Amino acid sequence: MAAVTALNESAAAASAGRTRGMQAGRRRRLNVFRYVVFTVFGLFFLLPLLAMLRFSLEGAKLGTWSLTAWRQIASYQNTGIPPLLSAIEITLELAVITCAVMLVLLVPTMIWVRLRVPWLARTIEVLCLLPLTIPSIVLVVGLGEIYNRIQHYSLSALMLFWVYVILALPYAYRALAAGLGAIDVTTLSEAARSLGASWFTVIVRVIAPNMRQSILNAVLLTWSLVLGEFTIAYLLLYTNLQVELYSISRNTPNAGVLFSTSFAALLFAFALLMILSYVGRRRRGRG
């Protein structure tokens, strides 16, 4: 009996061992697959960036190194076109204004709708996502008349913030909606109200601080959109960073400053992402 029991036990152990072996093999194959995919796509994205970086560090002679293209970011100027630095400044200002207006518009509205008029939520969602379905050229045709009037009062490219807010709506909405969905907005607002908070206090001091991560995400998405926007600025005859880079490329196709500026913009966006991730992680760790 003991021998039969021992036989049964060793058969079970062998079977368990075989299963573990198969699972380990499967895990190994999965890891290999992951690494291959990661490497292939990593190279697909990284190689052009590395080429761009190398080109921006190219000296006058092929094969030499130089920081000229990077130094030119602050001083490059095409004839008859505003300096590159000015375009960079305008774009950064546009990004800040667009983010601010978008947040002031969307955050209280979304919280208010969630708390007080939930039946409007679907309508707001559709309105916010609508710009995704409208091609830029159609937007420009629609906004052309309005911008004709705006240009009577101001020719500054900062006026682009109106249309950029519209463009950023779908991305910002989704980021903020995810944040709102992660907190119990109703209970928090009722708790605050029962303690004597006004609706303003509820939105600004109770709900919005708990949406910090999603607000940061919305800011990042808006910022990236503004930094990379070309079509609408070009068609409405404004000069932002991308329009300026395009002009430079038309006039001086081999200008290293094109690549140094583009790479700098990319680095800036990455840096922003890292900062936001760090802030978000720190907040999660703290509370």
Report the interface residues with another protein, using CB under 8 A: 183-184, 187-188, 190-198, 201, 206, 209-210, 212, 286-287
Residue 144, C-beta contacts closer than 8 angstroms, at least 6 positions apart: 236
Between 45 and 200, whose beta carbon lies closer to another protein? 200
Helix segments in the chain, DSSP class H: 2-56, 68-71, 84-116, 121-133, 136-153, 161-181, 185-194, 199-201, 212-228, 231-235, 241-251, 256-286
Q: How far is the CB of 121 from another protein (least distance, A)?
A: 20
Give exposure, 151-169, as e/b (b: 16+ Cβ within 10 Å): eeeeeebbbbbebbbbbbb
Amino acid (one-letter) located at 199: W
Question: Which of 167, 162, 183 shows the shortest CA–CA distance to 110?
Answer: 183
Q: How far is the CB of 185 from another protein (least distance, A)?
A: 11
Q: How far is the CB of 285 from another protein (least distance, A)?
A: 10
Between 5 and 187, whose beta carbon lies closer to another protein? 187
What CA–CA distance (Å, rounded) separates 276 from 224?
13
Instruction: Kindly report the backbone phi and psi dihedral angles of residue 197, in degrees, each rounded to the nearest multiple of 5, phi listed first.
Output: -80, 140
Q: How far is the CB of 281 from another protein (least distance, A)?
A: 15
Between 139 and 192, whose beta carbon lies closer to another protein? 192
CB atoms within 10 A of CB 139: 18
Q: How far is the CB of 199 from another protein (least distance, A)?
A: 8
Between 136 and 193, whose beta carbon lies closer to another protein? 193
Q: How far is the CB of 207 from another protein (least distance, A)?
A: 9
Between 157 and 219, whose beta carbon lies closer to another protein? 219
Between 81 and 212, whose beta carbon lies closer to another protein? 212
